Structure 1
Amino acid sequence: MSETTPFTLEVAPGTAIHGVVDLPEASGPRPAVIICHGFKGFMDWGFFPYLAALLAARGFTVIRFNFSGSGMEPGGDRATDLEGFRESSFSGDLRDLLAVLEAAPSLAPGRVNPQRLGLIGHSRGGGCALLGSAHETWQGRIRALVTWASVSTFDRFGEEIKSTWRRTGEILVPNSRTGQQLPLGLATLNDVEENREALDLAAAAGRRRAPWLILHGSEDETVPVAEAKALEAAAADPAVLEILTGAGHTFDCRHPFAGPTPALTTAMNHTQTWFRRHL
C-alpha cells in the first residue's frame, strides 16, 4: 500500500475540504494525478483508494478529496453533513477542484511537479475534471485527462422535477446504498440555470487541450454511453473513446470494495497507460 497523508484545505471562508495524498515510493517531485469523485460518492468510495494506490505504485503522487457539497465528513461512508449536501452546486465542485490544483505542491511538499498534472473523474466528477482541464488558468497546464462514465451535461432534471423543486425548495435524492433520502436545495438548480455557459461541458470539451481518454461502460444505465459519444464528438482536439463492453456505471464495483472486477481492471490498465504516456 502507498503512504497516505491527510489534508484539510479552506476553499472559501468557512468552507473546507478534506482529502488524502497517496505518495509513491520514489522521492522528489513526481507527476501528480487528482481524482474527482461523482454524485453521492466520496474519496474513499469503492475503487478510489485502489485506483490511488495503483497509480502511486506506478510513480504518481495522487490527490483525492471529498467535494465540499458531498455531505461527507472525514472517515465516514455515509452523508452526515446534510446541509452541505443541500447547498451543493456544480460551480462549487469546480471551485473545490481549482483550489486543490492551486494548492497541490503544498499538499505534498517536494513531491508534486506542478508542470505535470493530470485529472481523472468519475460520472459527475468527470464533468468537473473536464471543466478544470478547460479552465482559462489551467487549460495549458493540465497535461492529461481521463474521464470514467462522465456525464455530458449537468442539466439532468426534467421540467416536472424542476417545477416541484422550485415549489418546495428542495428535492430528496435516494441513496440506495445507505437508505438515506438526501435533501438537495435550490442551489443546484439555480446553478444549472444561471451558469449554463460556464458549466457547458460540450464547450469545455472544445476548449480543453490535454490529451483526453474517455472510458465508458456499454451497459451504463446511469449515464448512457451516448453521452460519452457526445463528449467525443464535441472535442476540438481528438479524444480517445474506449467503450468497455458489458460494463456498468461503476465498472461493476460497489462499496465496500470487494476487489477489482474485469471491467475495472481494464479501465485501470487504460488509465495508467494514458497517464504514463502523457505525464
Structure 2
Amino acid sequence: MITQSNFSLSGADGKLIIGDITFDEINPNAPIILFVHGFKGFKDWGAHNLVARYFAANGYRYIKFNLSHSGVPADNPKDVSDINAFAENTFSKELFDVNAVLDFIEKSFGKEAKVNIIGHSRGGGLAIIEAANDLRIGKLITWSAISSFNSLWKKDQEAEWKSNGKIYVTNARTKEQMPLNVSLLKDFEENAATLNILRAAKRVNIPWLIIQGDDDVNVPFENAQKLADANTNSRLVRIEGANHVYGATHPFESGTLPPLLFKVCEKVLMFLGE
C-alpha cells in the first residue's frame, strides 16, 4: 500500500522545512528520489503528489519538501501566503535547506543511501549546484531548469531594486504582487562563484538527465541547450508541446497525471533504471 509520512526540520534562519515521504509499505528500503520545487512553487503544488505516487508505485521512496522561505506556511500548505518569508528568501538559504534535507535523509536512511535528485525550474539550478558538490547524490534529473539565477529578473530592475530595497513579482494565479527584498540580489552578487549554475554544470560527474518542454515560455528551451552544452555527458530530452509544468495546473483536480507529465515520469523512470 502506498502511504505518505510527514517530517519537519529546521531550515535557513531557523525557519521550518516541512516535507513528506511517499513510499510503498511492501518496499521500505526502496531507493530515494528527492524533489526540489521551483520559484513560487511548493511540494503540494499541482500534480506533485500524483508524481510522488507514480514513483512510489514503481519502487522508489519519493521525498519532497517546502524550502523554508518558499512563503508556504505549515498551517496553509496549499499556497504562497507568508509574504514576509517569501521576501526574505535568498539562493544561499535555499542551498542551506537542500543540504539540511540531505542531512535528514542520511540520518534517516544511512550513509550508504544514494539520493537521486530532481529539480524543477529554479529548483533545477539548486539541484545542479548540489550535484556538483555533494557526493551523496547518485543521479541528477532537471525539469525545465534555469541556467542562471539572474534570469528571474531583468537587469534594468537592479538599480531600482537597490534604491527601493525591493522589487515585486506577480503571482500568475492570484495576481498578487509579491515582494523580493534586495538581500536576494546582494546574496547573488556576493556569492557569484558558488551560485554560477553553468560553472557547476561543467563539474557534474554523475549521470544527468535534462528534460525540457519546447513550448516553455517561462524557461525557454535554449536554457536546456546551454546546460547540455556545458556538460557533454548529460542527456537532453525534448518534450514536444510541453509547457513549463508539463500540463499541470494548481489546483489539479484530476486523479491521473497530465499526459506530458506522465511522459516525463516515464523518461525519468527509464533513466533511473539504467
TM-score range, shorter chain: over 0.9
**What is the CA distance between 1:147 and its match in structure 2?**
0.5
Q: Which runs of 5+ in 1 are unaligned?
A: none
Provide the aligned C-alpha RMSD in A: 1.7
Letter in 1 for 2:122: R
Out of 255, 267, 270, the position equivalent to 2:264 is 267
Counterpart-to-counterpart distance in 2, 1:132 and 1:186: 24
**What is the CA distance between 1:67 and its match in structure 2?**
0.5
**Deviation digits for residues 53-104 of structure 1, max 9, x if unmatched?**
1111111111100011110012422222211101111111111001101111
Whether the 8 Å contact between 2:12 and 2:94 is mirrored in structure 1 is no
**What is the CA distance between 1:141 and its match in structure 2?**
2.9
- 2:17 maps to 17
- 1:92 maps to 93
Counterpart-to-counterpart distance in 2, 1:2 and 1:220: 32
Out of 185, 193, 198, the position equivalent to 2:181 is 185
**What is the CA distance between 1:124 and its match in structure 2?**
0.3
Whether the 8 Å contact between 1:32 and 1:113 is mirrored in structure 2 is no
- 1:130 maps to 128
The sequence identity of aligned pairs, in percent, is 35
Any idea what SS the aligned residue of 1:26 has?
A: coil
- 1:115 maps to 113
Letter in 2 for 1:155: N
**What is the CA distance between 1:171 and its match in structure 2?**
0.9
Deviates more, 1:237-246 or 1:143-152: 237-246
1:246 maps onto 2:241 in alignment: yes
Whether the 8 Å contact between 1:30 and 1:113 is mirrored in structure 2 is no
1:79-228 to 2 correspondences below 5 Å: 79-106=80-107, 109=108, 114-135=112-133, 138=134, 140-156=135-151, 157-228=153-224
- 2:44 maps to 44
Any idea what SS the aligned residue of 1:22 has?
A: strand
Counterpart-to-counterpart distance in 1, 2:20 and 2:112: 18
Structure 1 length as normaliser, TM-score? 0.92
Deviates more, 1:44-53 or 1:70-79: 70-79
Whether the 8 Å contact between 1:104 and 1:114 is mirrored in structure 2 is no
- 1:234 maps to 230
Counterpart-to-counterpart distance in 1, 2:88 and 2:191: 16
Counterpart-to-counterpart distance in 1, 2:265 and 2:225: 20
Q: Size of the alignment, in residue pairs?
A: 270
Counterpart-to-counterpart distance in 2, 1:226 and 1:175: 24
Counterpart-to-counterpart distance in 1, 2:141 and 2:249: 21
Counterpart-to-counterpart distance in 2, 1:173 and 1:21: 31
**Deviation digits for residues 180-231 of structure 1, max 9, x if unmatched?**
2111101211122111100111111111122000000011110010000000
Letter in 1 for 2:146: V
Counterpart-to-counterpart distance in 2, 1:114 and 1:52: 22
Whether the 8 Å contact between 2:24 and 2:56 is mirrored in structure 1 is yes
1:6 maps onto 2:40 in alignment: no
**What is the CA distance between 1:5 and its match in structure 2?**
0.9
Any idea what SS the aligned residue of 1:30 has?
A: coil
**What is the CA distance between 1:47 and its match in structure 2?**
2.0
**What is the CA distance between 1:113 and its match in structure 2?**
7.2
**What is the CA distance between 1:271 and its match in structure 2?**
1.0
List structure 1 segments (4+ residues) > 4 angstroms apart after TM superposition: none
Distance of aligned partners of 1:125 and 1:13 in 2 relative to their CA distance in 1, 3 Å threshold: closer
Whether the 8 Å contact between 1:151 and 1:223 is mirrored in structure 2 is yes
